[in-house]
Structure 1
Amino acid sequence: MKIDLSVTLTEDILQSFFQLDAAGQIPPVGKFGHIGTHFDAMDKTFSLDNTEREGILFDVSHIRDREIEVTDIASATIQENDFILFHTGWLQENSYGSPGYFKNHPELSQALITYLVNKKVSLIGVDMAGIRQAAGHAQADQYCADHHIFVIENLANLDMVLQKAQGRRFLVHTYPVNYAGLSGLPCRVVAEI
């Protein structure tokens, strides 16, 4: 079974996104490469080896009043080159492109990010606007990219993956658009269970 994890972009979403951009509520670089499901390239090249990785999905949707920590996941199951996905439920609670979607979303702790870097995972995926909120977003993405890890933001349908995978590993296909010179690259992400 294949499940598309990419946000569906509609004309309404695109118009809303550009209106937020014009109002200064999102960074101006978001005009193209940062719309929908994408990763922040952070001056790094996405290896084609990353197009197929084993995935593990962690359900952290119950965490809202604090950062997501290493102790909140089954960290011992993580292996080198894994694609680690976090289901926070944020995209289900706040429609993509709405002003609320980009504000006050859950975030991974720096300790958890460092743990994933030390485990040498290949990809980190979230169903929200970033692994850290606005103030620490770029720094966290750069830290991961400097260690050859890409953060994929705005993943959809993680609830379906949670239901179908039932804690098992699955294959994740990730194909970024082949654009040069953009700080973010839109991508299609599909889970195969």
Structure 2
Amino acid sequence: MDRRDYLAALSVAGLSGLAGCGALFDRDGIGDPPDGCGVPDTFAANRGSLPPDDTPTDGIPPAMSETPPSRDVDYERFRVVTVEGVDVRLVPVDVVHYWWLRGAARFADARERDTYDRAHVYGAVWSPAGSDPACDPVTYWPDSDRIVCYGGSAGRSGRHRAAALINDGFDNVYAIRGGFPAWHRGDYPVAGVAVDPSASSNTTG
């Protein structure tokens, strides 16, 4: 099964009651942003042995050689925080990694550009709060697909980005609990100009 179709099949009911203003774009299917939007030249820098990503603006990591078997996810573990009146679900990093391995989420990095350039979740697009919607890959994603946002050490930018997407009509949005540092501490797959390409990354779950 195509990973894009697989991702859509795994989508779950989200925070439908929190949807805000209508979207400016038709989100029934995936589209493509203008060239140069959301995926800087550093996207695949020092990816080491990780497979190439032929569709970088979709936010879905490339297929791994081994996909972990399906498992139950305890959604009760997801802490909920309120950001500017919007409830945002925080996902433990081990669950996020499981979704990453299965291609079951799209990833949006809400940090500053230079921070993204240094290191980011491999497969994640750069999508900070306040970005131009016409040049943000997330704008072109189906609004029912699972989206995982993340920020820095405090995780605030990821939570705010998730809240903004929920307000914009996306109904299956999460933020990584602990932000990018939690992902990095888990030795999960990263790319960027500051990444040692010889360092091992946990791609097998």
Could you say whether these structures have the same fold, taking a TM-score greater than 0.5 normalized by the shorter chain as the test?
no
TM-score by length of 1: 0.30
Question: TM-score, normalization: structure 2?
Answer: 0.29
